[in-house]
Amino acid sequence: MIIELAILGVGVGALSGFFGIGGGTVTVPILLYLGFGIKEAIGISVMQMVVGSLMAAWIHHKKQTYSVGEIQYFGYGGIFGAILGGILVKLLHESILEWLFLGIVAFTLGRLALSSPVPTRPEVVNRPLYTAIGGGIGIFSGMLGVGGSILMTPVLVSFMGFPLKKASAVGLFFVMFTSISAFITLSWLGLVNYQAGMIMALSSIIGIIGGIWLLNKIQVNHYKSVLVVFYIIIFVITAYKLIVE
């Protein structure tokens, strides 16, 4: 099991570093296949996201991909939004959440496909707006159990004038806030398998480094094409689950 967890950690780390995602949508189903229960799988996934997002944030900070002094406000909003989202989970039916997620993915996919990978407008720098955006995306993170970067990247590119690669990096930075909050909560509830989580977390560091290296090497136009394909895959999988299953 150690080898399987290590390989999974490297793979998920590479996806996280390259696409700027937390990786939970990939990790949890595979952990279920390996025999872990759903709650245990979520705990392991969250622990990996904490370590992976911290490593990614450090690498991007060293590369000066973004200024932490400004984008940290996305994270502050995300913390409070995730709390509200967690409350809404109890109020909304599961099918509503699933269709809502599908609609959001469809919208962001359309915006991303139509947007230019090179900014056509000045980058918006507004701390209160950053907090509001982080809060709004945080609500969906809390409701749907995702890190939020899948929504953050298209919003930053389409509406905020962020370069595509920078938006992807900021999306993973945002995951750091939501995953730490979730990890603290799950640890308090006794739902984290620390041994399995640490194996995945440490091995994911290798993948994170490789994913970010590839992100910096690929041409932005090619990166946009790969990112759009990735979003289409997520959309198809979600739609199949809703319609067929």
**Total domain count for the chain?**
1
Q: Angle at CA 160, nearest 5°, toward 159 and 161?
A: 105
Count the Cβ atoms, other than its own, within 10 Å of residue 101.
Answer: 21
Count the Cβ atoms, other than its own, within 10 Å of residue 121.
Answer: 10
Condensed to tens digits (0 to 9), the pLDDT of residues 204-236 reads: 999 999 999 999 899 988 888 888 888 788 778
Q: Which domain holds residue 217?
A: 2-243
Nearest to 206 by CA among 1, 4, 16: 16
Return left, alpha or beta for 12; rule: phi > 0 is left, psi -120 to 50 is alpha, else beta.
Answer: alpha
So what's the pLDDT on residue 106?
A: 80
pLDDT at 188 over 90: no
Condensed to tens digits (0 to 9), the pLDDT of residues 9-35 reads: 999 999 889 988 877 777 877 888 888
How far apart, in whole angstroms, are the C-alpha atoms of residue 109 and residue 232? Answer: 7
Q: Is 13 helix (H, G, I), strand (E, B) or coil?
A: helix
Going 109 to 115 to 118 to 121, the CA torsion angle's sign is negative
Condensed to tens digits (0 to 9), the pLDDT of residues 115-139 reads: 777 777 788 889 999 999 999 888 8
Tell me the pTM: 0.80
So what's the pLDDT on residue 131?
A: 94
So what's the pLDDT on residue 144?
A: 63
